[in-house]
Structure 1
Amino acid sequence: MTMYLWLKLLAFGFAFLDTEVFVTGQSPTPSPTDAYLNASETTTLSPSGSAVISTTTIATTPSKPTCDEKYANITVDYLYNKETKLFTAKLNVNENVECGNNTCTNNEVHNLTECKNMSVSISHNSCTAPDKTLLLDVPPGVEKFQLH
């Protein structure tokens, strides 16, 4: 019962804590924006012989994403050549990318040996450093396994 009375008293006390009216006993002073709204000054513009208006336009170029962000979700298709017994990794991207440490033409990395891991550094002029490092996990050749 005592806790209930304290809570009621606390709620009643907060009702009277409007500091602008009850604590100071004065009406609130107008805020600076109200003072400007209530000003009674008048301004007139006098016409001049010539008016020069200066404008400056700043062209902002959109920042390029990093190549690591842009090519974060690259998928790779592995194509097997039965004659050479080597793989070609086809990178599924829209642009013709550059493979920094490997030779790639038309988004394909050629002459990959089965069951080898290789990293490829991918870059393009539409993105900035750091380059995307893509790990190629070359699968085993088709002679090495059979699906039943």
Structure 2
Amino acid sequence: MRVSELARAGGVTAETVRHYTREGLLPSRRDPRNDYQLYDEEALGRLRLIDCLRCLGLSLKEIKEVLVRAERDNTLPVDRVDRLAESLPLIHSRVRELQTLASWLERARRRSHAEFRDTTKAPSLNQLMAELTRQQDGTTQRGHQ
């Protein structure tokens, strides 16, 4: 798969793919016919892992260490697992936020395609923001109890 195809499949820009390749995070090979960078199917999973680890705040250097370990023996040291596990509340919160967004988009899409396009019944962005705020308040409150 070419840079643009990997980027599209991974939900990132082509420049991000090129940057990760230059940093040694995404192995590629060159097509001898046109010198394009090519990636195998495993690159997509690797790209998604890199993106997830970036969202958790790991530096590219730390991510490279994780990927090197994965290539050697597929395990992480306990301290690294513990550090990543500290992000579990954030991960669960993000999942809830994305589920809320997906639900809102589905409702909005159904309304926009309905026979009667009554915009007064369409889910509003203010409703979405209020729901996301309530989720954050609940997460914060649970975290401090």
Whose RCO is larger (CA < 8 A, sep 6+)? 1
Q: Normalising TM by the smaller chain, what interval? A: under 0.3
TM-score (norm 2): 0.17
Richer in helix (by share): 2
TM-score by structure 1 length?
0.17
